[in-house]
Amino acid sequence: MTTNFAYVKNDFYPKDQACISIEERGFKFGDGVFETIRVYSSIPYQWDLHLARLKEGIDALKINADLSGLHALCRQLIQKNAVENGLLRLSLSRGIGSDGYLPVGTAAYESTLVIETLPLPNAPQEPVDLWISGYQKISAKALPVQVKLMQGMNSILARMEAAEHNCFDALMLGDRAQICECSSSNIFWYRDNTLFTPSHMSGIMAGTTREAIIRLFPKVKEGLFLLKELHLADEVFLTNAAYQIIPVRSLSPMKLTWDSFAISSKVQKLLEQDIHTYAAKKKAA
């Protein structure tokens, strides 16, 4: 068995020895951002979208970080860990130095980068059940929710709640009862030859697989939607960089059910094709 490496701050370490100081603001306060990127044929899919979101997060949080060498480091780790198909996970923590919540000392200019590779998760073998979360999605008025913050408690609580109800994931609503997303995936539904999905104005995470679907599917309508829209849907599915497309068969406690998965399957094929094409192009370049 070969050693699995992780990159921490400025060097590669065997992952089981990779650690960070207890004073890291990422640990003390969840003060940082992360990205989870699908790797196919050793190429990180939609790298530019992930990098753009990471930069948006860094700007929103005013974290100091130089991302110019990031792609090379990621490629190096993918090679070291011989990842053909898998996930790349980057975390950027603000660094060390705290006067209460206020960043001081080195944290003002030196953030901490962590890169690791992970196996693909076991995707559900069947369409999944969803639970409407009792936790409201954190408002975009309180946090820059469109980026991946190193603070997932809202999602964790919703996901645990769903698991307690024997559901795969939780559907979270926003502060105007609008449909937002699941704990770590965006949601789409299908009706009248059209895919529908909550808009950025709904207070969603700007999912990269969501972006790919909007680019690939002929007709997608984004908007602010209430739960009643799902009563009219012929099909529902989730999107996420690790799982790609997850068809949905029920939503509880409302007891909505769906038994058509043709569009999910079609979208999954479109996405797979795009991932192949993307990797082939990058390799040729």
Name the site residues for its own copies (rule: CB under 8 A): 6, 8, 15, 18-24, 26-31, 34, 61-62, 91, 93, 99-103, 114, 116, 121, 135-139, 141-143, 149-157, 159-160, 163, 175, 183-184, 242
Tell me the C-alpha distance between 89 and 193, whole Å.
Answer: 35
- What are the tokens at 216? 């690939």
Nearest to 277 by CA among 40, 37, 52, 36: 40
- What are the tokens at 44? 């990180």
Least distance in Å: CB of 53 to its own copies? 16
Helix axes 70-80, 47-61, angle to 10 degrees: 130
Least distance in Å: CB of 121 to its own copies? 6
- What are the tokens at 38? 């699908």
DSSP string, 91-149: EEE--B-EETTEE-GGGGT--EEEEEEEPPP---SS-EEEEE-SSPPPPTTTS-TTS-B
Nearer to its own copies, 76 or 151 (CB): 151
Please give the angle made by the CA atoms of 13, 90 and 214, to the nearest 5 degrees. 150
- What are the tokens at 142? 């309180």
Least distance in Å: CB of 99 to its own copies? 6
Nearer to its own copies, 9 or 282 (CB): 9
Nearer to its own copies, 23 or 110 (CB): 23
Give strand pairing partners of 252.
131
Nearer to its own copies, 105 or 269 (CB): 105
Least distance in Å: CB of 42 to its own copies? 22
Nearer to its own copies, 160 or 280 (CB): 160
Residue 182, phi then psi, degrees to nearest 5? -90, -175
Place of tokens 């790349």: 88
Number of other CB atoms surrounding residue 266 within 10 Å: 14
Nearer to its own copies, 33 or 275 (CB): 33
Q: Is 209 helix (H, G, I), strand (E, B) or coil?
A: helix
Least distance in Å: CB of 266 to its own copies? 25
Nearer to its own copies, 149 or 179 (CB): 149
Asked whether 169 and 157 are in contact (CB, 8 A), the reply is: no
Least distance in Å: CB of 251 to its own copies? 19
Least distance in Å: CB of 5 to its own copies? 12
Least distance in Å: CB of 185 to its own copies? 9
